[in-house]
Chains A and B, each alone.
Chain A
Amino acid sequence: MNLEFLSQIPLLLTIVYCVAVVAFVFLFVLFSNWLERKISAHIQDRLGPMETGGWHGWSQAIADALKLLFKEDIIPAAADNKLFRLAPYLVFVGSLAGFAVLPFGAQLIGSDLNIGMYYVIAISSLVVIGILMAGWASNNKWALYGAMRAAAQMVSYEVPVALSLLVPVIMSGTMSMQEIVHNQEGYFWNWYVFRMFPFSFVAFIIYFWASLAEVNRNPFDLPEAESELVAGYFTEYSGMRFAIFFLAEYGNMFVVSAIAATVFLGGWQAPFPFLKFIPGAVWFIGKAMSLVFVQMWLRWTLPRLRVDQLMHVCWKIFLPFSFANLMLVGLWAVLWGK
C-alpha cells in the first residue's frame, strides 16, 4: 500500500507539469495574438488596439477569445459531421504533443526521450492528417484546396526540416533534447549555431525558413491565403472550433521556435556563465519568443509565394543545400571530431 502511494508521486508531478504546459500554451497564444496585432500595426505605421483594457489594448486578445467562445458553433449541413468535429482536436493534439519534449529547464521537461528529436519530427505528421480531415470534411472547395496545399507543403518541407535537425544530432551524438542542451554549455559561442561554422549556421537558417512553411506562416501561408481561398482549410469553422485551430497554429509557432532555440541556440543555457543565476526557463522562453517575434516580423514584411515557387524553393534550393550540409558536417565530424 505504502509503495503504491510512492509510485503515484511522479505521476502526480507529471500531471501538474502537463496542466502547467497547457496553461502556458493558452497564455502564450493570448500574448502572441496581442503581440502580432501590435507588430503588424507598427510595421504598417498604425497603433493597433489601444482601447481594450487600457494600457496599449493589453486585453484585446482576451476580448477576442471571449468573443470566439460565445459565437455560434456552425456545422455545415453537407459536412461530414464526425470528421468535421474531430479535425480541430487532432490538429491541436499534434501541436500540443510537441511540448512533451521541449526542455524548459534542466529539470523542466515532460519526458527526456532517447529519441526526442525524432519524436518531434514524427508527431508533426498528426497535424497534416488533422488538416486534411478538416478540409475534406468541410465539403467546401476552398477548404479542400487549402487542405491539399497544406498537406503538400508540410510533407515537402518536413524533409529539409528533418535534414537540418540532423546536423545538431551529428554534432552532439544524441537525439535527447536535454543532452543536446548540455553539450552547448558555457559561453554563447558554444551554441551549435556558432560551432562548425558555417555548416551549422546554414542548417539553422534552412530549419527556420522550412519551419515557417511547416506551420503555414507567411511567406508560406498559401494554405490559408485569404485573397485566394477565403481562409483555407478552416473556412467553414467558426466559434470554438476555429479558436482551437488558432491555438494550434500559434502553439506550433512556439514549438518550432523552441526547437530551434533548443538545438541551435543553447536551449535553457545562459549566454555567459555568470548569468547562470537567472532561471533556465527565462532564457529558454526568451530565446523562443525572439524567434516567434522574427516569424511575425517576416509575416508583415514579405509577400506570399506562389505555389510553384514554394515547391521550387523546397525541392531545388533547401533540399540540395541541406543534403550537402549534412554530408559536410558528417565529414567534419569524422575528420576533426565534434
Chain B
Amino acid sequence: MESVFFVILAVVTVFSALMVILQKNPMTSVLFLILAFFSTAALYVLLSAPFLAAVQIIVYAGAIMVLFLFVIMLLNLNRIKEEGSPLLKALGMMVAGMLLVIAAVVIRSTVIPSDSGFVAGTEPGFGSVEAIGRSLFTTYLLPFEIASFLLLAAIIGAVVLAKKKL
C-alpha cells in the first residue's frame, strides 16, 4: 500500500518539478512548483512526519508561493524571452552535470541498513508536535535560536525597506 502511494507521489513530484523548468509560461511553472511542494508534503506524511508536511504546505505552498504568484501577476511576464547565448547554455549544463555528480556520490555513499524494510519502523510519537518541539528546545536549541534571530533580522529589514520614514 505504502509503496503504491510512494510511487504515485514520486512520479507526481518528479513530473511537476520537470514541468517547472520546461514550461514557457511562468504562471504555469509556479503552479507546477506548488504541486511539487504538495506532493513532497505528502511524501513527508508517508514518512510519518505529518507536522513537517503541514509546515511544508503552510510555508512553501502557502505563503511563499502566493508571493511568487503575486510578483508574476504584477510583472505580467507572459513569455520569457529565449536566452540564446550558447555560453550560458554550456555553463548551465556544466553546473547541472556537477550537481548530478555530487548527488550520485552522496547517494552511493549513503549506508542503508540491510535489515530495514521499505519504510523504516518508528517508535510511537515520532514526528509528532511534542517530539519535534522537545528536540527543537533541547538538542537543537542553539540552531533554533539562531534561525529565529535571522528571521527577526529579515522582518526588521523588510520594515526598513517598506517604510521610507521611520
Interface on A for B, CB 8 Å cutoff? 80, 83, 113-115, 118-119, 121-123, 125-126, 128-129, 132-133, 136, 144, 147-148, 151-152, 155, 158, 175
Using Cβ atoms and an 8 Å threshold, which residues of chain A touch B63? Answer: 125, 155
Q: List 7 A-B contacts (CB under 8 A).
A: A83-B31, A113-B50, A114-B51, A119-B54, A121-B58, A132-B66, A136-B73
CA distance A138 to B54 in the complex (A): 30
Q: What count of chain B residues pass the 8 Å CB interface test?
A: 20
Interface on B for A, CB 8 Å cutoff? 27-28, 31, 34, 50-51, 54-55, 57-58, 61-63, 65-66, 69-70, 73, 128-129
Query: Which secondary structure characterizes the binding site on chain B?
Result: helix
Complex contact A129–B57 (CB within 8 A): no
Complex contact B50–A115 (CB within 8 A): yes
Complex contact B73–A122 (CB within 8 A): no
Query: Which secondary structure characterizes the binding site on chain A?
Result: helix
A115, A136, A152, A155: the one contacting B51 at CB < 8 Å is: A115
Complex contact B73–A125 (CB within 8 A): no
CA distance A125 to B28 in the complex (A): 18
Using Cβ atoms and an 8 Å threshold, which residues of chain A touch B62? Answer: 122, 125, 128, 155, 158
Using Cβ atoms and an 8 Å threshold, which residues of chain A touch B57? Answer: 122-123, 125
Using Cβ atoms and an 8 Å threshold, which residues of chain A touch B28? Answer: 83
CA distance A123 to B51 in the complex (A): 13
Among A121, A128, A129: residue with most chain B CB under 10 A: A129
CA distance A98 to B69 in the complex (A): 23
| Shortest CB distance B123–A (Å) | 14
Using Cβ atoms and an 8 Å threshold, which residues of chain B touch A147? Answer: 73
CA distance A114 to B58 in the complex (A): 17
CA distance A170 to B63 in the complex (A): 24
The 10 A-B residue pairs whose C-beta atoms are closest, nearest first, are: A125-B62, A122-B57, A122-B54, A118-B54, A122-B58, A132-B69, A114-B128, A115-B50, A115-B51, A115-B54
Known: A123-B57, A136-B73. A118 touches B51 (CB 8 A): yes
Which residue of chain B lies nearest to A137 when distances are taken between CB atoms in the complex?
Answer: B27
